[in-house]
Amino acid sequence: GDAVTYHVGIGPGLGVAPCEPHIPCDGCGLVRRITTSHVPPAWFLDGRAAPGWGLKREGEMRRDYCPQCEGAAHV
């Protein structure tokens, strides 16, 4: 699979701040949460960008960009 900027959900007590599964923008750090109350969304399972977000592949690396950064020089 592709190397992604996806961060798994981490519970309290593991030495890091708890968080929900998310994808941070590789431009500004804005976080796009991944809903975990049901099956992950199809865009996530298919390796696509979140709706409204941009995606740039560099070999096996993947960079995700929020709508503000999508049109910037990063992409």
pLDDT band at 75 (very low <50, low <70, confident <90, very high): very low
Q: What percent of the chain has pLDDT over 70?
A: 65
pTM comes to 0.68
Q: First-to-last CA distance in the chain?
A: 21
Mean pLDDT of the 2-26 span:
65
3-state secondary structure the chain: CCECCCECCECCCCCCCCECCEEECCCCCCEEECCCCCCCCHHHHCCCCCCCCEEEEECCEEEEECHHHHCCCCC
